[in-house]
A and B are shown apart, each in its own frame.
Chain A
Amino acid sequence: MAKYKIKIIKDKCIGAASCVGIAPKVYQLDENNIVYVTDENGDTPENILLGAQSCPTNAIEIYDALTNKKVWPASS
């Protein structure tokens, strides 16, 4: 089971693709340059979280898969 659940806030995505640069087996951009998740197990939890943290608009939210507690962004 994946450590994290990933939620994409599509309205916030600006197609910067920093997440793709860090974890390309997890994050990819669709034909509209909006991020989507290809495989929640596609990379290490560290890189999955780093990919979310690299997003300039916080379009990726990370939740603990067991507790459903939001891990990132920390303050929203």
Chain B
Amino acid sequence: MTTPQQFKGKVAEHILLNDKYQYIDIELVEPYLMEFLAGQYVSIDVGGGERRSYSIASAPSMNHAIELCVDIIPGGKGSSYLKNLKPGDEVSFLGPLGRFVLRQAQDKEQKLLFVATGSGIAPLRSMILDLLERRQDKREIWLYWGLRNVKDMFWEEDFRLRRKSFTNFNYQLLLSQPPENWPLESGHVTQEIKELGLNQDWGVYICGNPRMTEEIKQLALETGVPKEQVHFEKFY
């Protein structure tokens, strides 16, 4: 893994995706390139001597910038700082950090399951993009992403297009509070995954709220996925 170091970057794009989530594209300035592994995160200086950690949502192949997908938490120090960023603003951060990365053991992890809730999609997006586009990985890949309701949805079209482009990529977005007559999938990710048939051939990558993370982790272990093939990052 690359040794973490201090970076300066400039905001290239900032989009409020909806009331709950925001997207930020930060172009690296000094140094202007960062080598990182899909799934890693950065620690951003949010002012007042405080730092907040955010997973990189972009693929490692884009090493001149980082894309972030962040919760908008009313009163949150980090999300307030980020929410006020405008294109051209300078950002200081430390990175890359973290060990929640894809394992090299392809012979053991013959199929891959990615499970996210909310902004937990960020590191998994980086991993999936890396697998499909750079590594041209042909293993069966499943992504289950839980959001609360229609207003929270984002990147939906992005993942559906990739499902069309890559025949080994399977994707399900689940709304836990769908509107009436919702035509797509709904429910909780835990229940859906029980029907997947997990066993010792799977690698499982989980990111999101602590409760869901624990439930999926336990489910994976109970269905025979070896402990070393269950990887998780809890978002608090």
Instruction: Give the interface of A toward B (CB within 8 A).
Output: 14, 16-18, 21-22, 50, 53-54, 56-57, 72-75
Contact of A18 among B48, B49, B98, B234 (CB under 8 A): B98
A50 & B234 in contact (Cβ 8 Å cutoff) = no
B49 & A16 in contact (Cβ 8 Å cutoff) = no
Does B53 make an interface contact (CB < 8 A)? yes
B48 & A74 in contact (Cβ 8 Å cutoff) = yes
A74 & B43 in contact (Cβ 8 Å cutoff) = no
Summed over the interface, the residue pairs from A and B with CB atoms below 8 Å come to a total of 49
Could you tell me the distance between the alpha carbons of A7 and B41 in the complex, rounded to whole angstroms? 24
Does B104 make an interface contact (CB < 8 A)? no
- Nearest-CB residue, chain B, relative to A14: B234
A53 & B94 in contact (Cβ 8 Å cutoff) = yes
Which residues of B77-119 are within 8 A (CB) of A? 94, 97-100
Asked, given contacts A16-B99, A17-B99, whether A54 binds B4 with beta carbons under 8 Å apart, the answer is: yes
Say how far A15's CB is from chain B's closest CB, in angstroms: 8
Q: 4 closest Cβ contacts across the A-B interface?
A: A74-B49, A56-B53, A18-B97, A54-B43
B98 & A73 in contact (Cβ 8 Å cutoff) = no
Interface size on B, residues (CB 8 A): 19
A57 & B48 in contact (Cβ 8 Å cutoff) = no
Does B155 make an interface contact (CB < 8 A)? no
Q: Which interface residue of B50, B233, B236 has the most chain A CB atoms within 10 A?
A: B50
Contact of A54 among B1, B48, B49, B97 (CB under 8 A): B97
Could you tell me the distance between the alpha carbons of A19 and B61 in the complex, rounded to whole angstroms? 25
Could you tell me the distance between the alpha carbons of A56 and B3 in the complex, rounded to whole angstroms? 17
Chain A residues, CB < 8 A from B98 = 16-18, 21
A57 & B50 in contact (Cβ 8 Å cutoff) = no
Could you tell me the distance between the alpha carbons of A16 and B1 in the complex, rounded to whole angstroms? 14
Contact of A56 among B1, B43, B99 (CB under 8 A): B43
A22 & B4 in contact (Cβ 8 Å cutoff) = yes
B50 & A18 in contact (Cβ 8 Å cutoff) = no
Contact of A50 among B50, B94, B99, B236 (CB under 8 A): B94
Contact of B51 among A14, A21, A22, A53 (CB under 8 A): A53
